[in-house]
Chain A
Amino acid sequence: MDTQVFTFIMIILPIYLVSLLLYLIRAFKGPTISDSVLSIDAFSFAAIAVMGILSLFFKSLVLVSIAILLSVWTYALDVFVSKYLEKKEMGE
């Protein structure tokens, strides 16, 4: 990998860090539960992108599978909360 891609990643990563922090501010402030969960969603998807870019940086392909697991479990968290808010039994 040439140095140009390396410098590019170095410029990209701080911006992602800022965006992750802004998502977390909404997760903390969020007046309702749904707001917090929505911002966790956005946080996780941004984190998946960060993981993809970081595994380029580390040159280790093995870290990719975690990104898939993170996205699916985030979806599961959404579904839990929405089922909780729907006022039904969890198993029905």
Chain B
Amino acid sequence: MIDLILTIIGEILIAVGVFCSLVASIGMLRFPNFFVRLHAATVGSMGGSFLPIIGAGLIALGSDFPDKWMFFGGLIVAAIIVMLVSPAGSHALARATHRARVAPVEPKVTDHLKEDEDEKEGEKD
């Protein structure tokens, strides 16, 4: 009984994950600039990767593999590392891109960061 429940939860998680991954890849293509694409990439990393990894672990736990605990533990550690690593990576990349002025922030409503940076440079001169 508990095996069946675990399998069904795992399948639901994987199904949600694959939907998020597909939507994120469409968003990566449709969005206009780098900074907006960051949000699509977040959907891809949290919804499209974190959830299905845990789902795969649950399915393994509900099956009759010989070393299923090893499988489950490895996948859980992988999911935790993905959750820690993806925000740090996208933050570092976004900051460097904004500082180097490589990608445009257009279209935009405001850009307070650029205003503050310009103010600081004005003080230095």
Contacts and interface: CB of A to CB of B under 8 A. Distances in A.
The answer to whether A and B touch in the complex, with CB atoms under 8 Å apart, is yes
A64 B86 contact: no
Interface residues on B, range: 35 or more
B25 A45 contact: no
A12 interface: yes
B22 interface: yes
Contact of A25 (B29, B56, B81): B29
Given A19-B25, A38-B93, A52 B52 contact: yes
Contacts of A68: 74, 77-78, 81
Interface of chain B: mostly helix, strand, loop or mixed = helix
Interface string A17-32: 0111011011000011
Contact of B63 (A1, A19, A25, A81): A1
Interface of A: 1, 5, 8, 12, 15-16, 18-20, 22-23, 25-26, 31-35, 37-39, 41-42, 45-46, 48-49, 52-53, 55-56, 59, 61, 64-65, 67-68, 71-72, 74-75, 78-79, 81-87
Interface of B: 7, 11, 14-15, 17-18, 21-22, 24-26, 28-29, 34, 37-38, 40-41, 44-45, 48-49, 52-53, 56-57, 59-60, 63-65, 67-68, 70-71, 74-75, 77-78, 81-82, 85-86, 88-90, 92-97, 99-100, 102-103
